[in-house]
Amino acid sequence: MQADIVVLPGDGIGPEIVSATVPVLEAVARRFGHQFRFAEHDIGGIAIDRHGEPLPAATLEAARKADAILLGAVGGPKWSDPNATVRPEQGLLAIRKALGLFANLRPVRPHPAALGASPIKSELLAGVDIVVVRELTGGIYFGDKTRSDADATDLCRYTVAEIERVVRVAAELARQRRGHLTSVDKANVLETSRLWRDVATRVVRDEFPDVALEHQLVDSMAMHLLSKPRAYDVIVTENMFGDILTDEASMLAGSLGLLASASLGAARVGIYEPIHGSAPDIAGQGVANPYATILSAAMMLRHSLGLETEAAAVEAAVHGALDAKVFTADLAAQGAAVDTARAAAAVIERLA
């Protein structure tokens, strides 16, 4: 197949992890006979420096025409002056919104080699394989806000259509995996959660009869995610609960440098990026862990390009590199670390 992939390296370690990942996609194209065309554009701090805005029009235009978008990370101390009117992170929010990306997927599958890096007991983690699907464009984060001297309010609102579309993404994913979907809400207290529960129940009953749906209250979910993480397959939840639960879930996997994400909408195009930030403390040294970005590229192959075999091959190559203890500094015991380029090369060797 032919695909146009927009590459947005961004700031900090972003350019390093992205330039380690593009050759992996090129290796996939060679091995499986595809043609991927890459076009690089600015976003975040570098875009502020070069164009005066975190999401230049040329970047958005290219993104709109692309089949998929690979992103590094944005932000850094240079642009974090509290008085600044433009911030790198605004570029990310703006592009997600412009492309209508409403579902954020974060797989959590701790690799045996990285189990020791998690604060959770290894016996609880073996075999954990979860995808959290977080609603990204609604809820209390986007509701009207008021502030007076005496009080403040944040409105939490969800429409039926907003709930339906994210539940469909999650249920479809559950269908392709182990057929189990957990919908998380606070239906004992919140009206938006009662609507969420009703809509999730109806959508799964009518459109995904083969998927087993379970409802969980967010407080008990927070507990069960740590006490019995193996019990979950796909978890779907609203924006704020998802924000909190995805950070909690990331601790199951140990290193930030292994966690990928996808932001999806109604169209095929999605943004694929590691969940970690721009890591200014190690930027420019060539030592960042590229695996999270490479695993994000695997999600791109799966979700935007429909190339499941290729996606699985990339994941297997990363797992092979981890099995062979090809570790960057964040994973390695002292002295045994390889650099970014070497880690990426270990993946490419396994794809050849």
Catalytic residue numbers read 141, 186, 219, 243, 247
In angstroms, what is the minimal distance from the CB of 191 to ligand ATP?
A: 32
175: its two tokens: 């269908």
Q: How far is the CB of 117 from Mg ion (least distance, A)?
A: 17
**Residue 279 binding ligand ATP, by CB under 6 A:** yes
Minimum gap (Å) between residue 16 Cβ and ligand ATP: 9
Is 62 in a helix, a strand, or coil?
helix
Query: Is residue 281 within the footprint of ligand ATP (CB under 6 A)?
Result: yes
Binding-site size for ligand ATP (CB under 6 A) equals 15
Nearer to ligand ATP among residue 93 and residue 124 (C-beta)? 93
Compute the distance between CA of residue 13 and CA of residue 9 in angstroms, rounded to an integer. 8
CA–CA gap between residue 153 and residue 167 (Å, rounded): 28
Q: Residues annotated in the binding site for NAD(+), as ranges? A: 76-89, 277-289
Using CB distances below 5 to 8 A depending on partner kind, what does residue 314 bind out of ligand ATP, Mg ion, none? none
Q: Which amino acid is at 338?
A: V
Best CA proximity match to 163, nearest among 221, 205, 209, 203 = 203
Q: Taking CB under 6 A as the rule, does residue 104 contact ligand ATP?
A: no
To the nearest whole angstrom, how small is the minimum distance from the Cβ of residue 274 to ligand ATP? 6
Q: How far is the CB of 345 from ligand ATP (least distance, A)?
A: 16
**Residue 72 partner contact from ligand ATP, Mg ion, none using kind-dependent CB cut-offs of 5 to 8 Å:** none
304 binds, among Mg ion, ligand ATP, none (CB under 5 to 8 A by kind): none
Tell me the three state secondary structure of residue 170. helix
Task: Give the number of other CB atoms < 10 A from CB of residue 318.
Answer: 28
Q: Are 133 and 236 in contact (CB under 8 A)?
A: yes
84 — phi, psi (to 5°)?
-65, 140
- Of 278 and 304, which CB lies nearer to ligand ATP in the complex structure? 278
Q: Which residue shows structure tokens 């993104």? A: 63
Using the rule CB under 6 A, give the single segment among 178-186, 190-198, 217-225, 278-286 that binds ligand ATP.
278-286
State the pairing for strand pair 234-237/130-135.
parallel
Q: Is 233 in the site for ligand ATP (CB under 6 A)?
A: no
Contact (Cβ atoms closer than 8 angstroms) between residue 200 and residue 215: yes
Q: Tell me the residue ranges of DSSP E strands in the chain.
A: 2-10, 35-40, 68-73, 103-108, 130-135, 145-147, 152-154, 180-185, 212-217, 234-237, 260-264, 270-274
286 sits near ligand ATP (criterion: CB under 6 A): no
Residue selected from 67, 238, 315, 330 as contacting ligand ATP according to rule CB under 6 A:
330
289 touching ligand ATP, by CB under 6 A: yes
- Alpha-helical (H) ranges within 106-190 are 122-125, 160-176
Question: Of these partners, ligand ATP, Mg ion, none, which one is at the site of residue 256 (CB under 5 to 8 Å by kind)?
Answer: ligand ATP
5 in Cβ contact with 68 (< 8 Å): yes
Q: How far is the CB of 326 from Mg ion (least distance, A)?
A: 25
**Cα(253)–Cα(233) distance, rounded to whole angstroms?**
15
Site string for Mg ion, 248-287 (x = CB under 5 A): -----------------------------x----------
Furthest-apart CA atoms within the chain: distance in Å:
64
Looking at the Cβ atoms of 277 and 320, the one nearer to Mg ion is 277
Binding mask 244-263 for ligand ATP (x = CB under 6 A): ------------xx------
Contacting residues toward Mg ion, per CB under 5 A: 277
List residues near ligand ATP by CB under 6 A. Answer: 13, 17, 75, 256-257, 276-279, 281-282, 288-289, 292, 330
